[in-house]
Chains A and B, each alone.
Chain A
Amino acid sequence: MKTTTAIEIKDLTKKFGDFTAVNAINLKVSKGEIFGFLGANGAGKTTAIRMLTGLSMPSSGEANIAGFDVYKQRESIKENIGYMSQKFSLYGDLSIRQNIRFYGGIYGLSRKEIRAKTEQILEELQLEEYADKVVEELPLGWKQRLAFAVSNVHDPAIVFLDEPTGGVDPVTRRQFWEMIYESAAKGVTIFVTTHYMDEAEYCDRICIMVAGKIEALGTPQELKQRFDTDNMDEVFLKLVRTN
């Protein structure tokens, strides 16, 4: 790809009957950027991310993901993105190795590539001795990190993370964000939703969604200045209150 834009969205809208879940949002995310997507529950975050990952058809508007059109090139998009949802999405009754092999396989990796990837992931996460353990039996923090690694198994251009750190303790969350930084350093674009405001500070840029619209967009620094405060919680509360 020649351009430096990973995600470009114009007037993207999703309606469920009379209800407008996502209302004409506009965005541009650069390659290698860590982009935070914030909002209260029910603000439309998940609906938006489902449209960007091809799980849901937009009602109107345009979106271009990794250089592919969200209406016409859905399959190409899927080859080039990774996704990790708020629900834990690995197979609990498969072992770590089997999960990696399965997802590597359905992304079309060769057996050799899968073997190499498996070793790499096990080493990075220091899970070598648990490789044949059933995933269900792992602690939640490990599961989340494994799920992130698996969503990267095919070296996607963009990874979408939908509230990846829900219910995880602070130490594990740190480790998780370290993994995100490592990926971003390799040029992977990260698109992450969260409602932990301290995590928002880790992002290069963030946008805040309220009732289906993007109400604020910029670096954490810019937003704090604009709302005249020194923490993100305040920014968020002020935005929600004014609406």
Chain B
Amino acid sequence: MKRLLFIIQKEFIQIFRNKAILPLITVVPILQLILLSYAASNEVKKVNLAIVDQDVSSYSRRLVNKIRMSDRFGIIDARYAESQVVGLMEKGEVDIILQFPSKFETDFHKGKEVSLRIEVNAINGQGATIGFSYLNSIIQSFNQEIQGEVKILPVKMLQGGIDIEHSYWYNSELNFQHFMVPGILGELVTILVMLLTAMNVVREREVGTIEQINVTPIKNWQFILGKMVPFLVIGMLLMTVGLIAGKLIFDVPMRGNLALVFAFCAVNITAVLGLGLFISNLVDTQQQAMFVAFFFVIIFILMSGLFTPIESMPEWAQYLTLPNPIAHFVEVMRKVLLKGSDFADIVLNFRATVILSIIFNALAVMSYRKVD
């Protein structure tokens, strides 16, 4: 046990002496947390609109004004003929073209069928749908407004509706950053720990110090554990700093038990450490370690539910998230921090991560061979 302490001490000294690694575990992750939380948003905030008004009536002016009032839309251009706005969408300057047909207002008053034409740039399908639904709801409410002004509405139409009342729990303002920060923090801690450990043992092998260690009476588990503890501590520290930054900068709610967050974080880091060390034992050079770790990291992130919901994946892909530590981490962070979930709610994630951590660490110890 005492021997273990010496290994841990040595690892710490090495980490803090390495000028390349020190910023990587301090400033860079926090900067990334801030940058990513601002950038990684699927929220559609600004829709660029061009308007072709062939009617030029009080209705068309009123609707355009109504659109202008909503801060979601920016009106790039307003013209009177379609030919004048055609090139705008090709160049990508506008997202939606709204067109009023001539005699729009007069036909509406006559009770004729009238319709507005909307063309949406749909290359980004999700953005297009959301932008379209924003515009649609403005038009619907405008429609109700002017329906009210038409006196001759049949009485029957006013009754028999269903009122829909909706409420958004846990995040009533639909703040996207509150959603992203906990997940990104989990992801950052995981990546950092994985990249650092993946390059650690292979570095000793490249330099040659591993031979010297191998002739000493140190046991495999002591060596592996001695490598893990410092990175576990660093991971936990980063988590703490990240949570504080999340609270101070983004005012992320922390409704659940923070002890639960840290307990899960420790188990999760242990799993990732095992995986990193396993990779490190398999490869020959730091460069290979970097590539392999990087490969895993990309797949883990994209399939973690961090950016797109796991529920949207096909079923087979949802099973593939079970051995993905980042997926569990992101889910637990969000559940506990945002919804105040307790242990019973995340017991499945806990169980899966404990199993992963046993498997990865067993692989790491077994693949570390002192004797050939």
Do chains A and B directly touch (beta carbons under 8 Å) in the complex?
A: yes
Give chain A's interface residues, CB within 8 Å of chain B. 53-57, 74-75, 78-79, 81, 83-85, 87-94, 98, 101-108, 134, 160
Given the contacts A75-B217, A78-B215, A83-B212, A108 and B371 also touching, CB distance less than 8 Å: no
Complex Cα–Cα for A134 and B14 (A): 11
Chain B residues with CB below 8 A from A160, complex form: 215
Mask, B348-372, CB within 8 Å of A = 1, is: 0000000000000000000000111
Judge whether A55 and B372 touch: CB under 8 Å: yes
Closest to A101 in B: B6
Complex Cα–Cα for A56 and B3 (A): 23
Chain A residues with CB below 8 A from B370, complex form: 54-55
Judge whether A57 and B371 touch: CB under 8 Å: yes
Chain A residues with CB below 8 A from B9, complex form: 101-102, 105
Judge whether A91 and B218 touch: CB under 8 Å: no
Judge whether A93 and B211 touch: CB under 8 Å: no
Judge whether B217 and A107 touch: CB under 8 Å: yes
Shortest distance between the CB of B224 and any CB in chain A (Å): 14
Judge whether B209 and A90 touch: CB under 8 Å: yes
Question: Does B309 belong to the interface (CB within 8 Å)?
Answer: no
Which of A55, A79, A92, A98 contacts B207 (CB under 8 A)?
Answer: A92
Complex Cα–Cα for A160 and B216 (A): 13
Complex Cα–Cα for A141 and B226 (A): 31
Question: Does B208 belong to the interface (CB within 8 Å)?
Answer: yes
Complex Cα–Cα for A165 and B13 (A): 29
Given the contacts A89-B211, A103-B216, A55 and B13 also touching, CB distance less than 8 Å: no
Complex Cα–Cα for A94 and B207 (A): 14
Judge whether A89 and B217 touch: CB under 8 Å: no
Question: Does B7 belong to the interface (CB within 8 Å)?
Answer: yes
Give chain B's interface residues, CB within 8 Å of chain A. 2-3, 5-7, 9-10, 13-14, 17-18, 207-209, 211-218, 370-372
Shortest distance between the CB of A60 and any CB in chain B (Å): 16
Closest to A94 in B: B13
Which of B2, B14, B211 contacts A55 (CB under 8 A)?
Answer: B211
A–B Cβ pairs within 8 angstroms, 11 of them: A55-B371, A83-B211, A87-B208, A90-B209, A93-B18, A94-B13, A98-B10, A105-B2, A105-B9, A108-B217, A134-B17
Shortest distance between the CB of A34 and any CB in chain B (Å): 20
Judge whether A94 and B10 touch: CB under 8 Å: yes
Shortest distance between the CB of A148 and any CB in chain B (Å): 12
Total A-B pairs in contact (CB under 8 Å)?
81
Shortest distance between the CB of B211 and any CB in chain A (Å): 5
- A79, A94, A102, A134: which has the most chain B beta carbons within 10 Å? A102
Complex Cα–Cα for A132 and B144 (A): 81
Closest to B208 in A: A87
Shortest distance between the CB of A25 and any CB in chain B (Å): 19
Shortest distance between the CB of A87 and any CB in chain B (Å): 3
Complex Cα–Cα for A90 and B207 (A): 10
Complex Cα–Cα for A103 and B370 (A): 17
- In the A-B complex, the 9 residue pairs with the closest CB atoms: A105-B6, A87-B208, A89-B212, A83-B215, A78-B217, A102-B10, A106-B3, A53-B215, A79-B217
Judge whether A91 and B209 touch: CB under 8 Å: yes
Starting from the known contacts A53-B215, A55-B372, 13 additional A-B residue pairs (CB-CB under 8 Å) come to: A57-B372, A78-B217, A85-B211, A89-B212, A91-B14, A93-B17, A102-B7, A103-B212, A105-B5, A106-B3, A106-B213, A106-B217, A107-B217
Chain A residues with CB below 8 A from B208, complex form: 85, 87-89
Complex Cα–Cα for A108 and B214 (A): 15
Complex Cα–Cα for A113 and B6 (A): 14
Complex Cα–Cα for A81 and B370 (A): 16
Chain B residues with CB below 8 A from A55, complex form: 211, 214-215, 370-372
Complex Cα–Cα for A178 and B227 (A): 37
Judge whether B212 and A102 touch: CB under 8 Å: no
Chain A residues with CB below 8 A from B214, complex form: 55
Chain A residues with CB below 8 A from B6, complex form: 101-102, 104-106
Chain A residues with CB below 8 A from B217, complex form: 75, 78-79, 106-108
Chain A residues with CB below 8 A from B14, complex form: 91, 93-94
Complex Cα–Cα for A57 and B218 (A): 17
Chain A residues with CB below 8 A from B17, complex form: 93-94, 134
Chain B residues with CB below 8 A from A105, complex form: 2-3, 5-7, 9
Complex Cα–Cα for A56 and B211 (A): 11
Complex Cα–Cα for A108 and B5 (A): 11
